[in-house]
Amino acid sequence: MLQRFYADVPAVDVLVLDVDRLEHEGASVLWETPHDVTDGPYPHVYGVVPVQAVVEVVRVEHEPGEPWTLPDVEALRPQAT
């Protein structure tokens, strides 16, 4: 989705979300493949994203027109206690 919709944007902030918290607060996440897209599906949040569901904000930068490279956000996933 970054390449399709944000190819000419130099930077975006990617929100890493705790889906359990998100759903607890009344939002939901559906994995959808938009029409004319072959590299999906992608998560789509329905509802308000409450700040307590945001685990991390990751600034991602790239040269406009070049492919995006995303960091490994798995390391940011909350650990079960």
Residue range of the domain that includes 28: 2-62
Q: How many domains does the chain have?
A: 1
Q: pLDDT tens for residues 7-43?
A: 999 999 999 899 999 999 999 999 988 887 777 788 8
Neighbours of 62 (CB within 10 A): 18
Residue 35 placed within a domain: yes
Does pLDDT of 80 surpass 60? no
pTM: 0.74
Q: What pLDDT is stored for residue 35 in this prediction? A: 80
User: Number of helices and strands (H, E) in the chain?
Assistant: 2, 4
Question: How far is the C-alpha of 37 from the C-alpha of 15, rounded, in Å?
Answer: 22
Close Cβ partners of 73 (under 8 Å, ≥ 6 residues apart)? 14, 16, 56, 58
| Mean pLDDT taken over the chain | 86
Residue 34 placed within a domain: yes
